[in-house]
């Protein structure tokens, strides 16, 4: 079984969602992990800010533009009026859910529930589109199996047992769809794996089911040797080891969530970075095979605080840090 994760830009328009549907509709048994439509999570963050201020006018304004953008997407994505009506009713369900929070006190619990609406929406739209195309798929809700523990680490045992139970109940099914990013915490509340967390979801799922491969489909042809947002003429890297990729991700290569390589590395599952716009390009293969001992890429990160500690009496001293914090 393989995992295919599609990021925000890969589902960023009706055309992109149609392309994803074509890419996933083959005979390989797989779990498709979806991000929210690009821009959606940022809009939800803005809505949350307005909700915290109890600024109902701002919330209404943001929800109106959110709804009209999705109505356009629905118009372009579906062929039949019946499918459009179904999609619109999903959309209003999500929007009314968010709207209902304007009446109550707004807390981090509601905030996380609002943030979850993006992935819930994109996955239901893809699934409706697949069913309109006559492609059979089963939605396995991430909130039914993805959980983090009290240290905010994936609850491996919980994820493994619940996910395998859901899959075992659908032996005949080839195509499963689920949401990236969202999960439950150890209180059972809706939570998330932090921004960009859908990559992490894909890797956690891959490890939980012993997948043969985790594919991360995005808007660029693999990990480049430098950050293409800053440096010109960067080029993709064919191969990276888990350690190299994890280090680049941790130190700012936005293409991967900082923790996303760890579960795959632990289970030795190759991670392939692919471009949704150019599926024919080889992308980057991340595995335990090294292509040699040379510098592969450079990454950069803003907002780092460096603390320099100097002490005259540190020579041969141990336990220094423990004493100073």
Binding site for ligand ASP (CB under 6 A): 7-8, 35-36, 41, 118, 180-181, 195-198
Nearer to Mg ion, 33 or 74 (CB): 33
Nearer to ligand ADP, 19 or 50 (CB): 19
**Distance, CA of 271 to CA of 287 (rounded, Å):** 7
Closest-CA residue to 42 (of 1, 82, 12): 12
Q: Which residues pair with 148 in a beta bridge?
A: 154
- Phi/psi zone of residue 214: left (φ > 0), alpha (ψ -120 to 50 degrees), beta? beta
**Which backbone phi and psi does 115 adopt, to 5 degrees?**
-60, -25
Nearer to Mg ion, 7 or 154 (CB): 7
Closest-CA residue to 194 (of 179, 178, 181, 206): 181
CB 64, min distance to ligand ADP, A:
25
Nearer to ligand ADP, 17 or 255 (CB): 255
Out of ligand ADP, Mg ion, ligand ASP, none, what residue 221 binds, judged by CB under 5 to 8 A for its kind, is none
Residue from the set 12, 196, 206, 283 that interacts with Mg ion by CB under 5 A: 196
Out of ligand ASP, Mg ion, ligand ADP, none, what residue 229 binds, judged by CB under 5 to 8 A for its kind, is ligand ADP
Nearer to Mg ion, 196 or 222 (CB): 196
* Cα dihedral 164, 165, 166, 169 sign: positive
Out of Mg ion, ligand ASP, ligand ADP, none, what residue 215 binds, judged by CB under 5 to 8 A for its kind, is none
Out of Mg ion, ligand ASP, ligand ADP, none, what residue 36 binds, judged by CB under 5 to 8 A for its kind, is ligand ASP
Map residue 305 onto helix, strand or coil: coil
**Distance, CA of 90 to CA of 111 (rounded, Å):** 20
Q: Which residue ranges make up the site for Mg ion (CB under 5 A)?
A: 7, 196
């Amino acid at each position: 079984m393989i995992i295919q994760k599609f990021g925000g830009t890969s589902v960023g328009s009706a055309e992109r969602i149609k392309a994803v549907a074509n890419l996933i509709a083959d005979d390989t048994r797989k779990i498709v992990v979806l991000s929210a439509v690009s821009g959606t999570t940022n809009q939800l963050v803005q809505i949350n800010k307005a909700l915290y201020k109890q600024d109902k006018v701002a919330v209404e304004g943001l929800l109106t533009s959110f709804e009209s953008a999705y109505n356009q997407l629905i118009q372009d994505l579906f062929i039949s009026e019946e499918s459009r009506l179904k999609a619109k009713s999903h959309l209003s369900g999500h929007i009314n859910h968010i709207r209902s929070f304007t009446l109550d006190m707004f807390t981090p619990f509601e905030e996380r529930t609002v943030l979850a609406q993006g992935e819930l929406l994109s996955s239901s739209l893809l699934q409706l589109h697949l069913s309109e195309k006559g492609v059979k798929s089963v939605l396995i809700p991430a909130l039914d199996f993805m959980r983090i523990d009290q240290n905010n680490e994936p609850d491996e045992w919980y994820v493994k047992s619940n996910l395998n139970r859901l899959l075992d109940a659908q032996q005949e099914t080839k195509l499963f769809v689920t949401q990236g990013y969202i999960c439950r915490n150890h209180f059972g509340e809706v939570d998330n794996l932090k921004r960009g967390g859908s990559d992490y979801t894909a890797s956690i799922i891959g490890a939980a089911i012993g997948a043969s491969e985790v594919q991360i489909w995005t808007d660029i042809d693999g990990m480049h040797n430098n950050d293409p947002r800053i440096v010109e003429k960067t080029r993709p890297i064919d191969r990276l080891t888990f350690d190299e990729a994890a280090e680049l991700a941790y130190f700012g290569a936005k293409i991967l969530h900082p923790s996303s390589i760890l579960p795959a590395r632990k289970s030795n599952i190759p991670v392939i970075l692919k471009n949704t716009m150019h599926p024919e390009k080889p992308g980057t293969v991340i595995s335990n095979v090294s292509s040699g001992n040379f510098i592969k890429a450079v990454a950069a990160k803003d907002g780092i605080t460096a603390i320099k500690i100097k002490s005259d009496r540190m020579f041969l001293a141990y336990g220094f840090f423990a004493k100073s914090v």
